[in-house]
Chain A
Amino acid sequence: MADTILLSSPHKHDGSTIRSIMFKVCMALLPGLLCNIWYFGPGVMWQCLYATVFALLTEAILLTVRKRDLRLFLGDGTAIVTAWLFALMISPLVPWWVSLTGISFGLVFAKHLYGGLGHNLFNPAATGYIFVLLCFPVIMNHWPVMRELSAGIDVISGATPLGDTQTRLAAMDMISEIQIGPLYGMFAGAGWEWVNLAYLAGGCWLVISGIISWRIPFGVAGGVFVVSTLFSLYNPDLYASPLFHLFSGGTMLGAFFIATDPVTASTTPRGKIIYGCLIGLIAFVLRTWGAYPDGIAFAVLIANAAVPLIDRYTRPNILGE
């Protein structure tokens, strides 16, 4: 009984840590990562590796400059999750220096300048991605040809289903004409549909194990689904089907892994659904009328900015109020 410091109740804890949460997020990313490697080649793995090294280096330098406990904060695993998300958003053909630029920009400007872990307003991975997308648009939209499609033909790069749809719609083709080739796979793009399903599986596991709330992915998917259904019903020649929107590009990665970053997402139950829907809606708008093929990362950043407002107006009533 010699302790001099009196500890406050409770004297019990469920044992969870930030590190264990981040570890589970990485585990949940594995199916998507493996699927990516299968369809886009080992380049994806190298991207993850580079990104991890760059992220840890950047984080270590920033923590040292900010005089923070290096072991404690480097070991929390948040930088690794940022790195993996970034690596999974970019094409495996992107050179290492672009990756370094994106990662370090995201960590410096979106995370540490706001005060580091827990204080950032914008998702660091999405911010880094958007930064390099704006700086190097050509490199960033340079994707390898899917394993199944390249068989026998010596092609290195080609368009993604989203990019192809956008270009050909601009050339006055109709959806029914565009989305019939082998590029479009079974329902949402060869390879992409399976990658998205793998993210969906990993994400569902995160929901079941209580790491993320079902509300945000539900909101994102719901938002994309509703608005794309409405438009495709209105004019199926001009607007792609909801299935295509849900399972192509970064929809599932965004819905389950990027939008759910707890630091930058809404925290109230109702707010989470609104925040998710907002992302789905903006992503659809940007895909359909924007300059870039995919809009998920932009949508997440815009919704991030709206979070304080959403949280303020969705405060739940307390017991007896």
Chain B
Amino acid sequence: MGLDQTKPGMNTQVTRQLHNFHGGLVFETYKDITSKIVAIQHPLPQKIILPLRQHIGIPAVPVVKIGDYVLKGQLIARADGYVSIPLHASTSGKVIDIGDYPVPHAGKAVATCIVIKPDGEERWADIEPTENFLSIDPKQLQEIIRSSGIAGLGGAGFPAHVKLNEGVVNVVDTLIINGVECEPYITCDDRLIREKAHYVVAGTRMIRHAVQARQCVIAVEEDMPEAYAALAQWIDDDIELIKVPTRYPSGGEKQLIQVITGKEVPSGGLAIHIGIVMHNVATAAAVYRAVTRGEPVISRYVTITGKVGTPRNLQVLLGTPVSDCLRACGYEHNENHRVIMGGPMMGIHINNPDIPVIKTTNCILVKEIQPIPAEMPCIRCGNCVDVCPIKLLPQQLYWHARSENLEETKKFHIFDCIECGCCSYVCPSHIPLVQYYRYAKTRIAAEERKREGADHARQRFMQRQHRLEEEAQEKLLPQVSTISESDSLIADPDIIKSYIEAAVARTRDKRHQSRITDLEDKDG
């Protein structure tokens, strides 16, 4: 691993012009605490608690009963609909309960979980590898990925197959594999890359095949030289390896796209609208496992850090209670500490040690409780405007959210907010801005649901209309692809522009619908 940055290695060093994104913050990273230590396998816990929803979308539906014996990797809950993913047993044992347990979710205390008592045998269910992924149809590859229960393992938990499908039905210019861990403390992707670089690179090639991307980029942060070197050993000139400057939130999808390509994801739209698909490095590794071994997602790397005895990364079976992981790192419960699932900027504060590690859990951080300074009035200093990576006006959003002026918050693009927390971080008045925005988003969604609920027939009609339009649009797509084959996607700006606008409009509709289901789900 003695590769330094200037040595060419196996890949041709295509130096790409990197771009800047607006705002952001540079932190003390605290990554050294855990990044140098090998991630060990965490022993079997007493109990495995698997929430039916560990992703964005509709919860899975159990296919096992209480008392059933399940094998490791066995399907225990099936996907319900398109934006949903299946769930597999993390170990072999007996299903002892299916019911409500505390889950890590901002704003939701409990949700349905399947609880397994491990038998200690770790007996695998029959799994089947896919022999040669390059020879199979991309659609089929996508199906394998879907059935393995892969949700975006970076933190957001968007079902991987949905993103892939967008890539299959649309023209993909660039596939970006995101290894940019921009939050302080978190090193699970760094460790994963260092220890399983081959998985990441091979998984990247598989995703690339599935979406038929023209270019493929793996991005890591500048302060991850070992991970960079590890990847460089496996990469050929089919993949571009890039180091991006360490600045929060450069690992955010929109920001990383801007840094690498200089393109902006349209407001209210998706990356695919500008021909880009992005997946996390852990997702790529999971794809590799799913394809070559038929293994579903049953474990992940988790960084256990902060005020614990021996901070390090662990390879944890999904469903393992947080308290179990903390104990493994020599942490004893302390009144003066706060446990955060995720990083310090976007993590969720959890107050129940039995909450399990799920697919999106990248870090468990123990922090000392600091006295919370009183919230003062906004003095309009504009520090939040300077750091917002989306170029929103956080203080105006705050004024309107606070006075429940929801229409105005929409005009100020509240749904473009990525909740990165930069604004709250720099606010001298200590206003919990992100909390206000979440509140406003929830309120807007609730009102929309009320409006929609009033007229089901109309909704169904709209949906049908929307489906027909979508089909018509899909028929139009080949035109775009033939144009882009010539040189670049930007062959005729007008066509591309109108295409993007139509796609953004469709996505807005879709989001609108999914917000409604999301909320119904919360209430239910």
Contact = CB atoms under 8 A, between A and B. Distances in A.
Interface of A: 1-4, 6-14, 16-18, 20-21, 69, 72, 76, 78, 116-119, 213, 262-263, 265, 267-269, 315-321
B338 A7 contact: yes
Given A18-B429, A262-B381, A268-B385, A11 B267 contact: no
Interface string B426-445: 11111010110010000000
Which of B267, B428, B435 gathers the greatest number of chain A CB atoms within 10 Å?
B428
Nearest to B254: A319
B265 interface: yes
A14 B386 CA distance: 14
Interface in B353-369: 353, 365, 367, 369
B351 A9 contact: no
B497 interface: no
Nearest to B274: A320
B347 A319 contact: no
B339 interface: yes
Nearest to B365: A11
Contact of B378 (A8, A12, A16, A118): A118
Contact of A72 (B374, B391, B435): B374
B349 A11 contact: yes
Contacts of B254: 319-320
B22 interface: yes
Contacts of B372: 7
Contacts of A117: 376-377, 379
Interface residues of B, number: 67
A6 B373 CA distance: 16
B340 interface: yes
Given A3-B351, A11-B349, A316-B391, A267 B428 contact: no
B428 A2 contact: no
B413 A318 contact: yes
Given A118-B378, A318-B413, A11 B340 contact: yes
B347 A11 contact: yes
Which A-B residue pairs are the 5 nearest by beta carbons?
A: A10-B421, A118-B377, A8-B435, A262-B381, A12-B344
A320 B382 contact: no
Contact of A318 (B269, B337, B391, B432): B391
A14 B426 contact: yes
Given A10-B424, A12-B27, 11 more contacts: A6-B351, A9-B345, A9-B434, A11-B344, A11-B349, A12-B184, A20-B428, A117-B379, A319-B390, A320-B254, A320-B267
B385 A320 contact: no
B113 to A, nearest CB: 19
A17 B338 contact: no
A316 B413 CA distance: 12
Contacts of A319: 21-22, 254, 258, 264-265, 267, 389-391, 416
Given A1-B353, A320-B269, A8 B438 contact: yes
Majority SS at the chain B contact face: loop
A265 B385 CA distance: 14
Contact of A265 (B258, B369, B380, B424): B380
A112 to B, nearest CB: 12
A262 B382 contact: yes
Contacts of B350: 1, 6
Which of A4, A13, A119 gathers the greatest number of chain B CB atoms within 10 Å?
A13
A21 B428 contact: yes
Contacts of A4: 351
Nearest to B411: A315
Contact of A1 (B348, B351, B373, B425): B351
Contacts of B373: 17
Contacts of A267: 380, 382, 385, 393, 395-396
B333 interface: yes
Contacts of A18: 376, 379, 428-429
Contacts of B265: 319-320
A174 to B, nearest CB: 44
A18 B265 CA distance: 35
Which of A1, A2, A76, A317 gathers the greatest number of chain B CB atoms within 10 Å?
A1
B392 interface: yes
Given A319-B258, A320-B264, A320-B269, A262 B379 contact: yes
Nearest to A17: B428
Contact of B419 (A9, A11, A262): A9
Contacts of B338: 1, 3, 7, 11
A7 B429 CA distance: 17
Contact of B430 (A17, A119, A262, A321): A17
Contacts of B365: 11
Nearest to A316: B391
B352 interface: yes
A2 B106 CA distance: 17
B426 A16 contact: yes
B335 interface: yes
30 contacts: A1-B339, A1-B351, A6-B349, A8-B106, A8-B432, A9-B344, A9-B347, A9-B348, A11-B340, A11-B347, A11-B367, A12-B421, A18-B376, A18-B429, A72-B374, A116-B377, A118-B377, A118-B380, A213-B382, A262-B379, A267-B382, A267-B385, A316-B391, A317-B391, A319-B22, A319-B254, A319-B264, A320-B264, A320-B416, A321-B266
